[in-house]
Copies of this chain bind each other. A is one copy, B any other.
Amino acid sequence: MITDFPAMKRALILAQEALEADEVPVGAVIVDSQTGTIIAEARNSMQQAGDATAHAELTALKAAMVAKGDARLAECDLYVTLEPCPMCAAAIALVRIRRVYYGAEDPKSGGVDHGPRIFQSSSCHHQPEVVSGIMEKESAKLLRIFFQSKR
């Protein structure tokens, strides 16, 4: 069982920050695989930004393109604590992320291994590698705390 990824640990810290800001706790980190360094990171900020599309992944992707000065992130990997939704999965394909590591599955709203399974669709022209289940218990615990607080 894979449990120790420094970039996923950082994504979990960002998810914790989202939880403390009353956002759905999801964090995302983008690593340049050629240097091994984090080039962008973000947490969910839909409430704070007043923007239903301000998901951690999309925000991190946009920041990474600025950081790289490139509209493509071909040598970059994304670490995210929750399975990306269809919007973020499609964005991941558009920017040509090399590999997606995610934590917990999202059977209700996920778009990678659930729902439209974006990377398998005929409208998807880049298939990143996908590795799931990375520190999923820690990710799921934060989500459980958030949703229990909303009941």
Q: From DSSP, what is the main secondary structure of chain A's interface residues?
A: loop
B86 with A90: CB separation less than 8 A: yes
Choose, from A25-33, A35-43, A48-56, A132-140, the stretch at the interface.
A48-56
Cα(A128)–Cα(B128), bound, Å: 29
Interface centre among A52, A111, A117, A122 (most CB of B within 10 A): A52
State the number of copies, please: 2
A61 interface residue per 8 A CB criterion: yes
- The closest CB in chain B to the CB of A110 belongs to B123
Q: Which B residues touch A125, using CB under 8 A?
A: 109
Cα(A61)–Cα(B72), bound, Å: 22
Cα(A33)–Cα(B75), bound, Å: 43
A residues with a Cβ closer than 8 A to B are 46-47, 49-53, 58, 61-62, 65-66, 69-72, 85-87, 89-91, 94-96, 108-111, 114-118, 121-125
A sample of 16 inter-chain contacts (CB < 8 A) reads A47-B71, A49-B71, A50-B66, A51-B62, A51-B66, A52-B65, A52-B95, A53-B95, A86-B89, A87-B91, A111-B123, A114-B123, A115-B122, A116-B118, A116-B123, A116-B124
